[in-house]
Structure 1
Amino acid sequence: MSLVSHAQRNKTSIDAVLDFKNKELQIQQKIIYYNTSNDNLDTLYFHNWAAAYKDRHTPLAKRLIEDYDKSLYFAKAELRGGTVIKNISSNYISDKWYIDKKTPDIIKVILNKPLKAKDSVVLSLTYLTKIPSSKFTRYGQENNNYNLRYWYISPAVYNGKWQLMSNLNMDDLYMEASDYDIKFSVPQGVHINTDLHYSKSVKPPLTTYHLTGKNRIDIELNFNVVNDFVEFKTQPRIITNVDGTILSYPLKSEIINRELDFIKKHLGSYPHDKLLVNNITYQNNPIYGLNQLPKMFNPFSGAFEWDIKMFKALTRVYLEKTLLINRRTDAWILDGIQNFLMIKYVEKYYPEIKAMGNISKIWGVRDFNIAKLSFNEKYPFVYQFAARKNYDQPLTMRADSLSNFNRKIVNKYKAGLGLQYLDQYLNDSIVSSSIKQFYNESLHRKTSSYLFQKIITQKTNKDLNWFFGDYLNSKKKIDYTIKKVKQTEDSVKVTIKNRRNITVPIALYGVNKKDITFKKWITNIDSTATITIPKGNYDRLSLNYEYLYPELNLRDNWKNLKGLLNKPVQFRFFKDIENPYYNQVFYNFYAGYNLYDGLILGPSLYNEAIFKKKWLYKITPTYGTNSGKIAGAASFVYQHIPEETSVYRYRIGISASNFHYDKDLSYFRFSPFASVEFKRKTLRDVGGSALSARYIMVDKKIPENTARLEQDKYNILNLRYGFSKPDIIQDLRYNLDLQLANRFGKIAADFRFRKLTDSNHQLDFRVFLGTFLYNNTTSDFFSFSLDRPSDYLFDYDYLGRSETSGFMSQQIIIAEGGFKSIFENPYANRWMASTNASFSLWRWIELYADAGFYKNNGLKTNFKYDSGIRFNFVHNFLELYFPLQSSLGFEPTQQDYASKIRFVVTLNPDKLIGLIRRGFF
C-alpha cells in the first residue's frame, strides 16, 4: 500500500451560501478527481448523503423505521432535508448523470470517454441543499444552530469496485482524502467552529469564511449564533462542546492534555493542528451505563464523567479523521482500537472506579455483585449478557446488518476485549506496538484490518489463526471447564474440557483466597486434555480468573483443592449477576392485585440471574389482604438456546398457581408445557414465531352444598402457534389455537393488523374466527363470547374475572369477539366470526366499530355490531372505550351509561419493558 502523492490527491473547492431564513445551502462545487486505480473508468459515483432526508422512501427513513423512530417518516416538508441538483458537468463534456429512486443519496455520472488510470477529470456541480431538522440524526439545524456533516457531494471510493453506501445514520461514510478550499458565506454575527484553517471577511449582511485544509476526510462544520464551543490551546488544538458537569477551563485543559499524551503514546501524533470534537459524536456513541444512571445520585465525580466522555469522543474523532477504513464492512478494527484504549486509560487513571460509580457505595446496593464490578469489567459483562441470550453477531458482519445492541455496544466491547485478550496472551507490548505501527502506516491511506493482522503476526511466533478466524468471523462462544483434579505428592493433574466448538488459548490460575499465586496459558485444547502443574501455595484452581477473555459461562471454571467441592447457598435480594462460587437464590417483593384476593403480597424466590440459565425455578408464596389466605404460584423450567439452527429457544417445564376467582372461592391450576421459539430472519427483524403445547388442569373450589359442574374441574390440551411482526408502521400478528377436552374441542384463529397511514393516522383491524369441533357441554362457560371471554385457561389478567356488574366487570381484554358493548346473550356454542376496527382521528382519540356473526346449536345465526370512541393512550396497555351506536341502539341516551364504558389496563411490568426496548435488541 503506497501513500497517494499530493499530485494525485483529489481536490475539492466549494462556494457555499447559508440561507438562515430558508435553511438552505446554495452550493457551487468543483471536484478534481484522480483515478488512482489501475483500471480505466467510464462511470464515476458520488455520495450525496444530504439527499437522504428528502422523503419517507429513502434508505435512511426506512432504517429509522426499523429502529422504531418515525420522526423522519412523518416529518413535515419544512423539517426534511434534500438536494436539488441543477447541473453536473465535466471537462469531458458530459452531462449524463443519474439518481436511482431507491438510493437518492448516490449519484452516477457517465463520462463520454473513459478516465484512464492515473489521469484526472474536473467536475462542476451546482446544487441546492435543504438542511434537515436535527431531530432525525442530530445533524442539521435547530434554533439557529447548524451542525453540518456529510453536507456536500463527495466521490465514492474505488478499489477495484465502487464502495457505495447510503446514509443509514451510522456516521460511517467511506471517503477519500482530499484537499479542500471552501468559501462559506453566512449572516453577519454567526460563529463558525471547524478544524480547518480559516480567515474571514465581512461584507454586510454576510460574513464569508475562507476555509482550507489538505489531506482531509469528512469536513464537519458548526455554525451558531450563541457559541457553545470552547477551544483548548493544546497540541493539536481541541475545539469542543462536549458537555457534562461544570469544570473550570484550566482543569479541562489539563485533562485534555493528559488524554492527548495518552493517545499519542499509543497511536502517534495527530497530523493536523486542530481537531473538532462535537458533542454529537459523543451522543451517537455514548458511554453506555454512564448515560443510563440517574443524575440525582451523582454516581460519578464531575472530573471522571467529563474525562471519560471526552476521551471516548476524542479517540473516535482522532481515528476517523485519519484512517481511511470502510467502517461498514471492517468496523471491528476501529472499534477494537478505541475500546482497547478506553480500557487502558481507565486501568491507568481510574482503577478504583466502579461501573455503577458512587451508587455501588450505597447501603443495600454495595453487597450486590453488580455493584462490585469495576468500570472495565462492564465490557465482558455486557458481552456475556448478549452471548447467553444468543443475541451476539460476528465482528466481521456488515455493520448495517447488526442489531443496534450489537452495533452500538456488544461488538465494540468484544472487539476491544479481543485486543485486550491478545495483549495478555502475547505479552511484551506486542499489541500496543502493533496498533501504533498500524496507525502510522495507515495515515490518510486506504487501509483495512488485514494490515493490522499482517503487522501483529510478524511480531510473534504464536499461532493467532484462532483470533483472526473464529473469534472475528463467527459467534462461537468460549467455554472451558475444569472437569477433574487429581493431586499427588508434588503435583496436580488438571483435566480441562472444552464445552464448545472453538479452540483458543486459556489461562489457568492457582488462587490462595483471593491472591493469584500461579498463572499459566494453555493452548490447543479442542476437546479434553489433562495437564500437570507443580503444587504450590494455592487452595483453588480457576480458569479465566481475571476474565481476560470473554467466556460464556464462569460458573464451572474452578475446583477447590481442600475438602469436597461445596457451593454454599447464598440469598441475594433482587436479581444480580452470577457469583460462580455460590448457589444463588434471589428474592424480591412481589405485589399484585385482584378483586377477591385484594393486594397480593409476598416474597418471590428464583434462581434466574441477569444472565440466562438452563434450569430455572420461581416460587412466589403470597398473602391476599382481602381473602386473608395464603396463595401463590410456582414454575420450574428447562430452556435450551441452540446456535446454528432455525430455533431460538426450546422450553419445557411445569407451572402451578393458586388464587381466588371469586369471593372466598379459589382455584388451583397446574400445567406441564413445552414450547419452541423460532429465530427471526436477522436480529434487525422484529417479532418472531412460536409453537407451544400445554396440558392445563384446573380444579376450582365451589360453594358449600353446591353440586360440582363441568366448569369446576376440567383438563384441556392446548396447542398454539403464534406469529408477530410488530413494525412501527405495519404491525401483523396472528395466533392459531386448538383446544381439546373430554366435553369439547374447538379451533380458533386471531388475526390482528395495525397500520399507520401516510397522514400518521392509525388503522387497527382484527378478525376472529372460531368453531367447535365437538361440543357436549351443558353451559356457556367454554363457549365463545362476544364481549368478555370467561378465560377458563386463566391466561388473561382480569382484575375481577367473575364480576357481571360493577366497575371491574367493565374491564375488557380484546379476545374472541372483541366487542365493547355488553350484550345479554353474547355466547356462541357453535361458531363465531367477528371483526374489530378502529381509526385514529387525532392523537390518541379514535373511532371504533365491531361487527360479528355467531351461532348457537338449534338457533339461527345472529348478527351484532357496535361502534364508539376509543381513547388509545398506550396501545394494549391503557385504553378507554365509549360506546355510541350498536345493536342495542344509541347507547349514550340509555340508562346508566357509565356502566357501559370499558377499559383496558395492563399492570405486567415485563410487557411494559418489552414495549420500551423495541428496536434495540
Structure 2
Amino acid sequence: MARRKWKPVFLFSLRNYDSVSYLNWMPAAGYNNYDQFMIGLLLHNYTFPAHKFQYFLAPLFATGSKEVTGLGRIGYTWRPNKTFDKIDLSVSGAHFSTQDGVDSLGKTLYNGFYKVAPALRFTFKNKNVRSTVDKWLEWRTFFIWENGFRYVMKNEDGEFYPTEGKTTNRYLNQLTFNIADYRTLYPYDAQLQVQQGEGFYRATATGNYFFNYASYGGLQMRVFAAKFGYIGEKTLSKKFSTLAYQPKLTAVRGNEDYTYSNYFVGRNEAEGFLSQQVMMRDGGLKLRTDLFQGLQGRSDNWIASMNLNTTLPKGLLPVQLPIKIFLDAGTYADAWKKDAATSRFLYVAGLQLGLFHDLVNIYAPLLYSREFKDNLKTVPEQNSFFKKISFSIDIQRFNIRKVTGNKIPF
C-alpha cells in the first residue's frame, strides 16, 4: 500500500482575497499504558513564515479506555516591532488517562486528567539582528481536573476494589523568564520560574551549559536551585497536600509531574519496567528511592544540585556508542539540621545511554552515597543492577524550532 502523504487544504479569506492559509493534516498516533494505542489526526497550520493565528489539534481515539483523548493549542501572535519581537497569546489543553483498575464485577475503570492552560508570552527583540539569543517572559495558568478512584471492600473476599471517585480541580500560576542560545559551540539556556498554588509558592532557577571538547563531544552541566514556602500558616494537612510540588533531589516520578507537562508511558505504575521511568526535573539524582521516602532529599524549604555528563573519548570503545558518564550531586535544607537523616551531600554516578538525539536516555547508577547503598541492601529484590536502571523521555527539553524554524510554546 502506498504511503499516504499529508495534504494541504487551502482556506481563502473572505476579507482579503490575496491571503491564503493552510490547513495541514496527517495521521497521528500515541500510546500509554492505560489508553493503550491512540489513533487520530493532527491538524495544524504551522508553516514558514508563520501565520499570526496558529493552531494544532490532535484528537485521538484510545483503543484501551475507549475515550477521545488528545491535545491541542490555539494562539495568536503580534509583532510590535519595538521592545518585543513578538507577543503570543495562547491556550493549550490535553486529556489522557493516567490509571486503570478492575472493579468487583470485573469491569476495567479508568481515571485521568483534563488540562487547560492559557498563556501570554513576550519574546524580546535582540539589538543585534545576527544574534541567536532567545529571551522571553511568560505568564501561564494551569487549570487541571483529575478523576480519582474510591476503594471499597467486597465482603465476599475481603479485597478492596476501585470504584468511580470524585473529580477534583486545582490551579497553578506560573511566571517564567527564559534565555537561551542554541548555538553550535557552547550552547546554553537558563530559566527563572515562580509558581503559586493553593497555600504555597515555589521558586526555581535552572541553568544548562554545554562545553564542547576540541576534538569530539563535550561536557553537559546543569545546575538547579529551588525555594519552597507556604502562604499563610504551615499546617500538617497543607504540608501533605503539597508534597508533589515540594522540590526533591532524586529524579521525579510520573505522579509528581503536577502540570502533566512530560510524557510518561505508565505514569502511575508501581512495579515493572514502566515504573522505572523518571523525569529530569528538580535535583535530578538518577537513582529511584521509591521505598525510602526519607532518602529522596525532599524539602519544603530549599534544595540545590548539579548534574554533569560527559561523552567518552573517541576510539575508547570498539564501536562508537552514545554512552556518557554522569555525576549528580546535591544538598537540601533538612540535611543541615543537627539530627539529619542523611549526609549533607548526596551523589549518584554511572553510565548514561542517549537515544534519538537524547530524546530518550537510559541511566545505570554504579556509585552512590552510603545512605542509598545501606538502604538498598535491606530490599535485595530491588538491589539488582536492572532494578536500579531508570529511563527518561525528555520531551520537555525538545525544541521544535530546530525542526520547523518555529517554536511551539506548549
1:622 aligned onto 2:106: no
- Report Cα offsets for 1:321-372 as digits up to 9, x if no partner: xxxxxxxxxxxxxxxxxxxxxxxxxxxxxxxxxxxxxxxxx997798579xx
> Are positions 1:904 and 2:370 aligned together?
no
Alpha-carbon separation, structure 2, partners of 1:710 and 1:803 = 21
CA offsets, 1:374-397, max 9 Å, x none?
xxxxxxxxxxxxxxxxxxxxxxxx
Judge conservation of contact 2:149–2:165 (CA < 8 Å) in 1. Answer: no
Which residue of the partner structure matches residue 715 of structure 1? 171
Q: Distance in 1 between matches of 2:349 and 2:283?
A: 14
Residue matched to 1:815: 281
- Tell whether the 8 Å contact from 1:744 to 1:777 is kept in structure 2 after alignment: no
Paired AA for residue 685 in structure 1: S
Distance 1:791 1:736 in 2: 18
Which residue number corresponds to residue 686 of structure 1? 132
Higher mean displacement: 810-819 or 902-911: 902-911
- Listed as ranges, the gaps of 5+ residues in structure 2 are 101-109, 153-162, 315-321
Change (3 A) 1:554 1:685: farther
1:341 maps to none
* Contact in 1 for aligned 2:190/2:206 (Cα 8 Å): yes
TM-superposed deviation, 1:620: 2.7
**3-state secondary structure, aligned to 1:842:** coil
Secondary structure at the aligned position of 1:722 is classed as: strand
Output one character per residue of 1:797-819: Cα deviation in whole Å (capped at 9) or x when no partner: 22222223321222233211111
Do residues 781 (structure 1) and 244 (structure 2) align? yes
State the SS of the aligned residue for 1:777: helix
Letter in 1 for 2:392: V
Relative distance call for 1:368 and 1:737 in structure 2 (3 A) is: closer
Amino acid of the residue matched to residue 333 of structure 2?
K
Note the 1:415-434 alignment, pairs <5 A: none
The one-letter amino acid of 2:373's match is G
Can you list the C-alpha shifts for 1:2-53, whole angstroms capped at 9, x where unaligned?
xxxxxxxxxxxxxxxxxxxxxxxxxxxxxxxxxxxxxxxxxxxxxxxxxxxx
2:76 aligned with 1:638? yes
**1:833 Cα deviation (Å)?**
0.8
Instruction: Tell me: CA distance 1:709–1:369, structure 2 relative to 1, closer, same or farther (3 Å).
Output: closer
Secondary structure at the residue paired with 1:808?
helix
Kindly indicate whether the alpha-carbon contact (under 8 Å) linking 2:59 and 2:71 is maintained by their aligned counterparts in 1.
Answer: yes
| 8 Å CA contact 2:150, 2:164 repeated in 1 | no
Whether 2:309 is the aligned partner of 1:838: answer: yes
1:889 aligns to what? 373
Matched, 1:801 2:281: no
Q: Structure 1 residue 770 and structure 2 residue 236: aligned? A: no
Q: CA deviation at 1:864?
A: 1.6
SS at match of 2:132: coil
Return the offset for 1:877. 1.4
CA contact (8 A) 1:555 1:580 kept: no
Cα distance in 2 for partners of 1:628, 1:709 equals 19
Larger Rg computed on CA atoms: 1
Amino acid of the structure 2 residue aligned with 1:778: F
Equivalents in 1 of 2:403, 2:274: separation in Å? 25
- 1:873 Cα deviation (Å)? 4.4
Counterpart in the other structure of 1:860: 340
Letter in 1 for 2:245: F
SS at match of 1:781: helix
Unaligned runs of 5+ in 1: 1-361, 371-552, 559-578
The residue number in structure 1 matching 2:360 is: 878
Match of 1:746 in 2: 202
Bigger relative contact order, structure 1 or 2 (CA pairs below 8 A, ≥6 apart): 2
Per the TM alignment, residue 749 of structure 1 is displaced from its structure 2 partner at its CA by 0.6
Seq. identity, %: 21
Q: What residue identity is the alignment partner of 1:807?
A: F
Instruction: Tell me the distance in 2 between the aligned counterparts of 1:703 and 1:773.
Output: 30
How has the CA–CA distance of structure 1 residues 628 and 604 changed in structure 2, closer, same or farther, with 3 Å as cutoff?
Answer: same
Q: What is the TM-score with the length of structure 2 in the denominator?
A: 0.74
How far is the alpha carbon of 1:763 from its aligned partner? Answer: 1.2
Residue number in structure 2 paired with 1:665: 111
Verify the 8 A CA contact 1:697 1:716 in the aligned structure 2.
Answer: yes
Q: Map 1:394-405 to 2 at 5 A.
A: none
Could you list the per-position Cα deviations for residues 206-243 of structure 1 after superposition, in whole angstroms to 9, with x for gaps in the alignment?
xxxxxxxxxxxxxxxxxxxxxxxxxxxxxxxxxxxxxx
| 1:909 to 1:368, Cα distance in 2 relative to 1, 3 A | farther
Equivalents in 2 of 1:896, 1:683: separation in Å? Answer: 54
How far has the Cα of 1:615 moved from its partner?
2.2
Give the SS at the match of 1:828: coil
Question: By how many angstroms is 1:910 displaced?
Answer: 7.3
Question: What is the SS of the residue equivalent to 1:778?
Answer: helix
Match of 1:847 in 2: 325
Would you say the 8 A contact 2:209–2:220 is kept in 1? yes
Decide which structure has greater strand share: 2
Q: 1:652 to 1:704 in 2, by over 3 A?
A: same
Contact map agreement 1:672 1:695 (CA 8 A) in 2: yes
Aligned with 2:239: secondary structure?
Answer: coil
* Alpha carbons of structure 1 residues 884 and 555: separation in structure 2 relative to 1, 3 Å: farther
Q: 1:598 to 1:907 in 2, by over 3 A?
A: farther
Residue 617 of structure 1: CA displacement? 3.4
Tell me what 1:192 maps to: none
Q: TM-score when scaled to structure 1?
A: 0.35
Partner Cα separation in structure 2 for residue 806 and residue 763 of structure 1: 32
Q: CA deviation at 1:889?
A: 3.0
Which whole-Å CA distance do the structure 1 matches of 2:165 and 2:179 have between them?
Answer: 36
CA positional deviation for 1:678: 2.0
Q: Separation in 1 of the partners of 2:15 and 2:401? A: 31
Task: Tell me the alpha carbon deviations over residues 47-95 of structure 1, each in whole angstroms, 9 at most, x when there is no partner.
Answer: xxxxxxxxxxxxxxxxxxxxxxxxxxxxxxxxxxxxxxxxxxxxxxxxx
Preserved CA contact (<8 Å) 2:279 2:394 = no
Superimposed CA distance per residue, residues 70-123 of structure 1 (whole angstroms, 9 cap, x where no aligned partner) = xxxxxxxxxxxxxxxxxxxxxxxxxxxxxxxxxxxxxxxxxxxxxxxxxxxxxx
Q: Kindly provide the CA deviation profile for residues 126-153 of structure 1, in whole angstroms up to 9, marking residues without a partner as x.
A: xxxxxxxxxxxxxxxxxxxxxxxxxxxx
Q: Distance in 2 between matches of 1:692 and 1:709?
A: 35
Alpha carbons 1:743, 1:777 under 8 Å: kept: no
* Aligned-partner residue type, residue 353 of structure 2: F
